[in-house]
Amino acid sequence: MSYKVLIVDDDSIVRIGLKSVVDWQKLDLEIIGEASDGVEAYELISRLRPDIVLTDMHMPRSDGVRLMEQAKRDFPDTLFLVLSCYNDLEYVKESMKLGAFDYLLKDEIVNTDKLTRILQNAISALEASRGRKLAAFFPSQEYLPSCVLRRRFLADLLEGKVQDPHMIAAASEELQLRFDENPPFFVILELDDYVGVLRRFVDTDALDYAVKKLYCEILKEYGHTEFFVAAPNVFCALVEVSARSNIITPTQRILSILERVRMLFHKEFRSSCTIYADRIHSFAELTQSYQHINHVMCFEMGKGDRDQIFCMWERPIQAEPEDLKEQEPPHNAQQDPIESVCDYINAHYAENITLDSLAQHTNYSKYYICKLFRKKVGINITDYIADVRIAQAKKMLLEGNIKIGEIAEKVGFNNPSYFHKIFKKTVGATPKEYMRMHPRS
């Protein structure tokens, strides 16, 4: 993957000179934009996220020092190469204090070898930084099988924990995550009666394994497949599908495959399932694709519109049902709707809380509540309910006079195995381990 470069100088002749004296393509560098002052440059840095910025120091509106102060604070991984004249050396000194990687006098721009050498050094520094991040991301790589690391990496991608495109590319290469022939389809499957199906298995791990086995038995017939579980009842797969003919397109083929999956899950699990499918062209697109799918999941929740295959490419991200658009609070509203939702959850956590019940409580549409909650609280309603329930469970565990199975039921979990899974995920320990860690005085 090439590194991105932004050129910043108020002199258009200098910008033209920089673009023409270096073989940028040979260095695997891409010039993604130009700016004539620090204000314009900061806007481009925020939007385009360049890896390297070549910037003049003396510019109108906002100089190079101010630009570096702002950019280094918000985008610390960006490398700055400073351009300066002899009479601006004080600027250069100040820029080096701020962490500039190197500098070049404008008179030396024509010295192609020197500029190329500085750029090569910058590339080496970026590569080293990427290597350190990769090592930090896979601290236990030598102890864990690659399949486990791949699942972990893909789950982190969905949650937006990894966003640096170079990091994503390096990790994908390291883990041998490749879809060489065709862009993969990203598929999420949900069992519509997850709780009912879970009761027939020992625990969630057993169910996850059974789903994977059935899923992959079908999908592997058609091409390379990566399967992973992102969360309870969120079964994910990346599927590479070839057209195999000029008559059937990959899109038509994946829909046929997923219909087969849906029918087989009916038969084997005695449950309908809802499938969401999107097509991505790089692993970096997974985060946005997952957000899009969650967006649609939210619309369908409570509608009873399940047991279907939803094609994301037929659903523009910006398209929203009327009920999801912003609503003006009633003039007589006494409380913020999200505060009201939180209060309701805190009071009724032991009950079966649905979007319909929250909508009825607040007099807002369930779609609007779902969107506004995520925007204001930062997590979705389901996660918030789980957090409240686990917080109450922790209090009961420390009292020590109630059985764990009873606690699970009292805080709103119908299935003890699911309660154990969510508790460990949230707290980092099982209920028994938590009790041992916090003995009563």
More confident call, 137 vs 313: 313
More confident call, 343 vs 281: 343
User: What pLDDT sits at residue 131?
Assistant: 64
pLDDT tops 60 at residue 320: no
User: What pLDDT sits at residue 314?
Assistant: 63
pLDDT, average across residues 337-347:
89
pLDDT tops 60 at residue 394: yes
| Cβ count within 10 A of residue 12 | 10
Band of residue 130 on the pLDDT scale cut at 50, 70, 90 = low
Whole-number mean pLDDT of the chain?
A: 78
Closest CA to 86 of 69, 66, 103, 63: 103
pLDDT tops 50 at residue 206: yes
Query: 168: exposed, middle or buried (C-beta count within 10 Å: 0-12, 13-18, 19+)?
Result: buried
- Distance CA(374)–CA(122), nearest Å, equals 39
- The residue assigned the tokens 């912003």 is 326
Cα separation values, 385 from 11, 379, 402, Å: 57, 10, 22
What is the value of pTM for the model shown?
A: 0.50
> Which residues make beta-bridge pairs with 190?
274
The string of pLDDT tens digits covering residues 18-39 is 888 888 888 889 898 898 888 8
User: What pLDDT sits at residue 304?
Assistant: 52
pLDDT tops 70 at residue 362: yes
More confident call, 260 vs 306: 260
pLDDT tops 70 at residue 43: yes
The string of pLDDT tens digits covering residues 323-339 is 444 444 544 445 678 88
